[in-house]
Structure 1
Amino acid sequence: MNPSDARRRILLIEDRRTGGLPDAAILAQAGYVVDALDGLEACAAAAQHPYALILMALEAADLDGVIEAARCIRRLPYPRGDVPILVLTGALGETDRERCRAVGMDGFLTRSGEQETLLEAVAHWVEAADDPTWGLDARPGVTAPLLNRRTLAQLEEDLGAELLPEVLSTFLTETARRLGLLEARVGAGDAAGAADEAHALKGSAGTFGAMALRQAVDEMERSGRGGDAARLAALLPEVRRLVTATCALLAAEYSSVVADTPRP
């Protein structure tokens, strides 16, 4: 296989001082081209080479190092910074998962000891990343990313780099307002009104590439149209979390954006 084939090329971030992990060998045997590097080298490699997927082996690298590497990669210009980033871990608490999501990591692969499980999960993400509509619609087994950077890159091209932060600031403020309206509708048991607010939030989320949020409020809209008030109440905490995470990530990546990040 040609090593330049980006559809089969994976960046594996690990701390080689520990002697490494068998993940690189497993992936190589399955036909992937694997660059196994530590965090200090990973961002430079991601800037130079097109990857289908980036795996961060948390057992072999400290969390702070993994987060810094992910933050560096997400700051790379499109398309180098628009690659799925997954954490490969044995166990990770929710607080640490939130830290990972906040810098743009897309998901978590839990070590099960089974090679087939790892390879099936990697294949899912590689297939999704190879799809030109990556992030627009979730596939089975593939979680939508917080941000679709293709969408943001197109917005920057259309609006210009100077105007984009101002428009994003407006989006953050409007998202906080829409979340408040949605919460009020759900609290009042107004399923139809909640569906309308979810629909409006879904439209703006899609426009600005907030794909995980778009997916979540789409489910809220469908529940509201069906008059399922209990389901709306059950879905609301996840929408709150995604609003907070998405707005924090946008504000972090576009430092000139000035807006209050909503807190659930």
Structure 2
Amino acid sequence: MENTAINETVFSQLLVDVGEEMLPALVAVFNEETTERISELELLVVNVDNHKVAQNCHSIKSSAGTYGALVVQQHAEELEIMAKSNHTDEVQEKLPLLIGSLQDAINELSLRCD
């Protein structure tokens, strides 16, 4: 994996697909929804509900990929599998990594659209 929160190739293709005018609005929606998910995930770190973790991670996985947040996508995929397998201790340990990578992605996307 690369050292940036957002993959340049994927992000550049998104820019081509949606256009410069539309991209900031889409990023704003992603950032808002992701901020809400972070709040949900922070609660799940304390009281793990594997079903809710799996649902959140499934949604995060696909939307993160769209924006080039490949580290987020990878963490979400791993967590979804762990949660579906009821590996609660591993889920609880890995959730903070997902939360941190989500915050990094939000920050980097915001900088790219300012």
Alignment TM-score, normalising by the size of structure 1:
0.41
CA contact 1:148–1:210 (8 Å) conserved in 2:
yes
How many residue pairs end up in the alignment? 113
Quick one: distance in 1 between partners of 2:40 and 2:96?
Answer: 14
What aligned pairs does 1:174-253 form with structure 2 within 5 A after superposition?
A: 174-253=33-112
Q: Give the partner amino acid of 2:24.
A: P
Mapped to 2, the partners of 1:202 and 1:251 lie a distance apart of 19
Alpha-carbon deviation of 1:177? 1.1
Equivalent position of 1:148 in the other structure: 7
How far apart in 2 are the matches of 1:158 and 1:171?
16
Secondary structure at 2:48 match in 1: coil
> 1:240 and 1:193 mapped to 2: Cα distance?
15
Larger relative CO (CA 8 A, sep 6+): 1 or 2?
2
Root mean square deviation, CA, Å:
1.5
CA drift at 1:185: 3.5
Unaligned residue ranges in structure 1 (runs of 5+): 1-83, 85-105, 107-144, 256-264
Q: Deviations 1:200-221 (Å, cap 9, x if unpaired)?
A: 1111101111001111111111
* Number of the residue aligned with 1:135: none
Equivalent positions of 1:13-24 (< 5 A) are none
Amino acid at match of 1:189: V
Larger radius of gyration: 1
For 2:48 and 2:31, locate their aligned partners in 1 and report how far apart those are by CA, in whole Å: 26
Aligned mate of 1:167, from 21, 26, 29: 26
8 Å CA contact 2:72–2:102 kept in 1: the answer is yes
Separation in structure 1 between the aligned mates of residue 73 and residue 29 of structure 2, nearest angstrom: 17
How far apart are residue 186 of structure 1 and its match?
Answer: 4.1
- Contact 1:186/1:229 (CA < 8 Å) preserved in 2? no
> Where in structure 2 are there 5+ consecutive unaligned residues?
none
